[in-house]
Amino acid sequence: MFKLTSRLAFAALLLPLLPISSAKAAPLFPGTPGMVSYTYREDFKKDIASTLDTIKAHGVSDMEFSNLFNRTAPEIRQLLDARGMVCSSYGANYNDLLNKPEEVAANAKALGAKFVRVAWLPNRQPFTPELAEQTAAEFNRIGKQLREQHGLTFCYHNHGYEFVPHGNGTLFDLLVEKTRPEDVSFEIDILWAQFPGVSPAALLEKHGNRFKLMHLKDLKKGVTGDLSGKTPVDNDVALGTGQIDLPAVLRAARKAGLEHYYIEDESPNIATQVPQSIAFLKSLN
pLDDT at 24: 61
Q: Which residue stretches of 153-218 are H helix? A: 171-178, 191-194, 200-207
At residue 25 the predicted structure's pLDDT band, cuts being 50, 70 and 90, is: low
What kind and span of H or E run contains 106?
helix 101-111
Distance, CA of 203 to CA of 198 (rounded, Å): 7
Stated pTM of the model: 0.91
Sign of the torsion formed by the C-alpha atoms of 236, 174, 105 and 56? positive
Which pLDDT tens digit goes with each residue over 47-86? 999 999 999 999 999 999 999 999 999 999 999 999 999 9
pLDDT at 11: 44
Distance, CA of 130 to CA of 124 (rounded, Å): 10
Average confidence score pLDDT of the chain: 93
Q: Taking 70 as the threshold, does the pLDDT of residue 21 lie above it?
A: no
Percent of the chain with pLDDT over 90: 89
Sign of the torsion formed by the C-alpha atoms of 229, 277, 91 and 198? negative
209: buried, middle or exposed (CB in 10 Å: 19+, 13-18, 0-12)?
A: middle
Q: Taking 80 as the threshold, does the pLDDT of residue 16 lie above it?
A: no
pLDDT at 23: 53
Residues 37/44, Cβ–Cβ less than 8 Å: yes
Q: Taking 80 as the threshold, does the pLDDT of residue 15 lie above it?
A: no
Which pLDDT tens digit goes with each residue over 162-209? 999 999 999 999 999 999 999 999 999 999 999 999 999 999 999 999
Percent of the chain with pLDDT over 70: 91
At residue 17 the predicted structure's pLDDT band, cuts being 50, 70 and 90, is: very low
Q: Taking 60 as the threshold, does the pLDDT of residue 249 lie above it?
A: yes
Q: Taking 50 as the threshold, does the pLDDT of residue 5 lie above it?
A: no
Q: For the chain, what are the domain ranges? A: 31-283
Question: Which of 31 and 39 is assigned the larger pLDDT?
Answer: 39
Distance, CA of 244 to CA of 194 (rounded, Å): 7
* 146-168 mean pLDDT: 98
Level-2 CATH architecture, domain 31-283? Alpha-Beta Barrel (3.20)
Residues 37/63, Cβ–Cβ less than 8 Å: yes
Q: Strands, DSSP E only, in 158-239?
A: 165-166, 169-170, 185-189, 211-216, 218-219, 236-237
